[in-house]
Amino acid sequence: MERALAEYLVIFARCLAGCEGAHEQVDFKDFYPSIADLFAESLQCKVDCEANLTPNVGGYFVEKFVATMYHYLQFAYYKLNDVRQAARSAASYMLFDPEDSVMQQNLVYYRFHRARWGLEEEDFQPREEALLYHNQTAELRELLEFAHMYLQSDDEMELEETEPRLEPEDRPSDAEFEGEGDYEEGIYSDWWQEPDAKGDEAEAEPEPDIA
């Protein structure tokens, strides 16, 4: 179980590192929105690592996989009479499920017999790698939530603020464009001008004076 836990943490670290790689840029945005999108995608990838590494046993995914490993370690160390490691494994499990009544009773039992086994207060602290994993995953989820709340593109919001929607009474009506005027010319003209001369020419050539 210790080996399985160590290998899982190695694979988890590799998954986090893989989320820092290159990303395909689909939308061409300004610099800062592009950086925000890249940051949010990387966070989502890292948060998904925990779910993607959850094993499927008999068609069922193991819930609280890392916590379950510490639960088994606690039981195994107790059977091996290594109560110090059992207590630390129980404390590590409580990081992920502090409301578990069974593990709470186990810790009470270990504390009650602490003098018998020579346990110190530090023996009831979570293991270092468990504390690191718990804090890391919790921080990633908090950062992702922050990114969803405050790093989303606000282009639509700016459009709504700069271009308010017209109310029905403010919208132009067809009556403004009815009749003849600047927007619409009549078919027939209201005035008529006689040509200066008959024929195709608009103006007749003046006859030369004969001396």
- For the chain, the structural domain boundaries read 2-151
* Strand ranges, E, within the chain: 56-57, 60-61
User: Which among 19, 103, 107, 14 has a CA at the least distance from the CA of 64?
Assistant: 103
pTM above the 0.85 mark? no
Is the separation of the CB atoms in 46 and 170 below 8 Å?
Answer: no
* Inter-axis angle of helices 2-18 and 128-150, nearest 10: 30
Using the predicted structure, report yes or no on whether residue 157 has a pLDDT greater than 70: no
Q: Report the pLDDT value the prediction gives residue 154, as an integer from 0 to 100.
A: 57
* pLDDT tens digits along 168-191: 555 555 555 555 555 444 444 455
Q: Give tens-digit pLDDT for 55-101.
A: 888 888 888 999 999 999 999 999 999 999 999 999 999 999 999 99
The closest alpha carbon to 141, from 48, 3, 35, belongs to 48
Query: 9 to each of 31, 68, 130, 209, how far by Cα in Å?
Result: 35, 14, 10, 116
Is the per-residue pLDDT at 152 higher than 80?
Answer: no
Q: How many CB atoms lie within 10 A of CB 43?
A: 21
pLDDT at residue 19 in the model = 92
CB proximity list for 88: less than 8 A, separation 6 or greater: 123, 124, 125, 126, 127
pLDDT band at 209 (very low <50, low <70, confident <90, very high): low
